[in-house]
């Protein structure tokens, strides 16, 4: 794992954007897996600025959504769908034909997971996967557990995850989550994990211990051959 420390969130966001642009320049049809939340927002904003200057760079880019809250309508504030539409898909003018994403409120959640898995099978593997790390060490909605699921699945969400700022915006709390599984993520050709903020200090210490355990799902990134980890300096500093 290549670990790079950024002095600020702005520096992290710019470095992450540059990495993505570099990979798109190598492969215009890149399949980019996109996380949501506060960590990648600045990077997406930087990509939108890049689009204004160089729109043709993105005219073949493909995007797959990493995860989604379940049991809520797609147009609910706080869904991953709304976040991605506002921060990435619409600004980069990504059409439906180049986007794969979980429906947050399907008639049959299990069939929805099978649909996304089949899409990933035909369109994948993921070329570049953007990840964050949860306060409890979760990766997407792969929560700490005795064992982890390899493929797309309906996830039982922890109480800590349900306290996420995105969920707090919703009129109805999600009853579950949809997520790519650990094998789906680890089959990515390259992974870029972004970690920012002093609230992540405790889980960062566990993550950097290099101890691979299902109690910290993000620790499985240590077995992947091509992971770039960008961490802000404040996420590393010891609590005074």
Q: Does residue 36 fall inside a structural domain?
A: yes
**SS3 per-residue string spanning the chain:** CEEEEECCHHHHHHHHHHHHHHHHHHCCCCEEEECCCHHHHHHHHHHHHHHHHCHHHHCCCEEEECEEEECCCCCCCCCHHHHHHHHHHCCCCCCHHHEECCCCCCCCHHHHHHHHHHHHHHHCCCCEEEECCCCCCCECCECCCCCCCCCCEEECCCHHHHCCHHHHCCCCCCCEEEECCHHHHHCCCEEEEEECCHHHHHHHHHHHCCCCECCEHHHHHHHCCCEEEEEEHHHCCCCC
Is 240's pLDDT higher than 50? no
Q: Which pLDDT tens digit goes with each residue over 20-59?
A: 999 999 999 999 999 998 999 999 999 999 999 999 999 9
Q: Does residue 96 fall inside a structural domain?
A: yes
CA distance 87 to 43: 10
Q: Does residue 228 fall inside a structural domain?
A: no
Range of the domain at 115: 28-188
Q: Does residue 7 fall inside a structural domain?
A: no
pLDDT band at 165 (very low <50, low <70, confident <90, very high): low
Residues marked active site are found at 67, 136, 138, 143
Give the pair of three-digit tokens for residue 183: 């094998």
CA distance 167 to 76: 10
pLDDT band at 238 (very low <50, low <70, confident <90, very high): low
Q: Which pLDDT tens digit goes with each residue over 72-118?
A: 899 888 899 999 999 999 999 999 999 999 999 999 999 999 999 99
Q: Does residue 151 fall inside a structural domain?
A: yes
Give the pair of three-digit tokens for residue 188: 């990515």
Distances (CA, A) of 143 to 61, 69, 201: 29, 13, 19
User: What burial class does residue 175 get, using C-beta atoms within 10 Å of its C-beta: 0-12 exposed, 13-18 middle, 19+ buried?
Assistant: middle
Q: Does residue 153 fall inside a structural domain?
A: yes
CA distance 65 to 79: 11
Q: Which pLDDT tens digit goes with each residue over 120-159?
A: 999 999 999 999 999 999 999 999 999 999 999 999 988 7
71 CB-near residues (< 8 Å, 6+ apart): 104, 105, 172, 174, 175, 176
Q: Does residue 94 fall inside a structural domain?
A: yes
Total domains in the chain come to 1
Q: Does residue 218 fall inside a structural domain?
A: no
CATH of the domain at 157: 3.40.50.1360
Q: Which pLDDT tens digit goes with each residue over 168-218?
A: 676 667 889 999 999 999 999 999 999 999 999 999 999 999 999 999 999
Give residue 136's pLDDT: 93
Give residue 170's pLDDT: 66
pTM: 0.94
């Amino acid at each position: 794992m290549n670990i790079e420390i950024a002095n600020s969130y702005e520096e992290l966001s710019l470095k992450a954007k540059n990495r993505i642009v570099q990979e798109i320049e190598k492969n215009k049809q890149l399949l980019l897996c996109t996380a949501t939340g506060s960590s990648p927002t600045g990077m997406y904003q930087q990509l939108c600025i890049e689009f204004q200057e160089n729109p043709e760079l993105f005219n073949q880019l493909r995007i797959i959504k990493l995860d989604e809250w379940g049991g809520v309508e797609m147009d609910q504030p706080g869904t991953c769908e709304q976040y991605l539409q506002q921060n990435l898909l619409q600004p980069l003018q990504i059409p439906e034909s180049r986007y794969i994403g979980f429906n947050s409120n399907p008639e049959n959640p299990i069939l929805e997971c099978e649909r996304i898995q089949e899409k990933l099978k035909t369109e994948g593997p993921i070329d570049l996967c953007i990840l964050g790390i949860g306060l409890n060490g979760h990766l997407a909605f792969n929560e700490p557990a005795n064992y982890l699921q390899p493929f797309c699945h309906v996830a039982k969400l922890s109480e800590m995850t349900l306290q996420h700022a995105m969920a707090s915006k919703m009129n109805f709390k999600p009853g579950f989550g949809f997520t790519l599984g650990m094998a789906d993520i680890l089959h990515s050709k390259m992974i870029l994990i972004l970690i920012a903020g002093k609230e992540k200090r405790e889980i960062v210490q566990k993550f950097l211990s290099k101890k691979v355990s299902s109690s910290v799902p993000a620790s499985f990134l240590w077995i992947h051959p091509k992971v770039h980890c960008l961490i802000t300096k404040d996420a590393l500093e010891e609590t005074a």
